[in-house]
Structure 1
Amino acid sequence: MTSIRKDISIDAPAGAVWNAVRDVGQIHTRFVPGFVTDTKLEDGARVVTFANGFVARELIVDLDDDARRLAYAVTGSALMSHHNASFEVIPESAERCRLVWIADFLPHEAAEPVGAMMAEGAAIMKATLGRKAG
């Protein structure tokens, strides 16, 4: 299994960042606009359309407000036989936090395209969430 971890420092309060992360149906407007172009909610899942045309059905595994953690799994992907991921918002000060994004997936050959997408998404998250708080 391949794991990719992005540890993103954000100039925004943890509560504000978590509020955007936990809004699972609005990630295309509040969390990663431009990277994700549409989000449709289904029973217990969301269907996410990325700017590169990739569409993923993400099963919402856990949404923990106390831990500020969202876990999800991509189902039915032609690119990956297994994919689970999580976001966790960790306060660093009253006005700064870290967003930790971890994805575990198979096959190993998906590491390059998944890693590239995560790098792009992380940069957009940092810019979007920091700008909205400022």
Structure 2
Amino acid sequence: MATIHREFELTASAAQVWDALRDFRAVHQRLAPGFLTACRIDEEGARILDFSNGSVARELPVSIDESLHRIAYTVTGSRMRHHHASAQVFDAGEGRSRFVWITDVLPDELAPYIAGMMDEGAAAMKKKLEAEAQKSSSGSPT
């Protein structure tokens, strides 16, 4: 099984980042707009995500842990035999945070594709979250 690990720092507080990450239904607006173009919730509570490259994924929430600032989800109904991911936010001090995103996937051959998607997602998250933090600190309405 391939494991893909992405970690990056943000000029945004852990509280601000967690508030966006935990909003499972608005990931396309609050966390990674541009990378994600739409999000619909199905009858089981899974989110159906449309990506900017035309891909569609069904992500079922596994856990949203308020105390750990961690979300876990699995992708279902795809060509992957297994997909489990978690994202967690840590306080890095002085209005900064560290974002850790880990995905396990089978078959291994899909790892480069998933890694590329995670890289694009991380760039979109960094752009959106830091822009929102900047608006908050300058007193501008969001």
Superposed pair shares fold, TM > 0.5? yes
C-alpha separation in 1, matches of 2:13 and 2:41: 27
Structure 1 vs Structure 2 CA RMSD: 0.8
- Structure 2, unpaired ranges of 5+: 135-142
TM-score, normalising length from structure 2? 0.91
- List runs of 5+ in structure 1 lacking aligned partners: none
CA displacement 1:24-78 (0-9 Å, x = unmatched): 1111111000100001112331111111111111010000111100000000112
What does 1:1-134 correspond to in 2, within 5 Å?
1-42=1-42, 43-78=44-79, 80-134=80-134
Deviation at 1:94, TM superposition (A): 3.8
Return the alpha-carbon distance in structure 1 between the equivalents of residues 87 and 41 of structure 2: 19
Q: Could you say which structure has the larger radius of gyration?
A: 2
Partners in 2 of 1:89 and 1:44 — Cα distance?
23
* Range with bigger deviation, 85-94 or 39-48: 39-48
Q: TM-score, normalised by structure 1?
A: 0.96
Following superposition, which runs of at least 4 residues in structure 1 exceed 2 angstroms of deviation? none
Instruction: Give distance in 1, aligned partners of 2:112 and 2:67.
Output: 33
Aligned-pair CA distance for 1:8: 1.3
Distance 2:118 2:92 in 1: 22
| Percent of aligned pairs sharing the same letter | 46
Aligned residues, how many? 133
Cα distance in 1 between the residues matched to 2:55 and 2:84: 17
CA–CA distance in 1 between the matches of 2:46 and 2:15?
A: 23
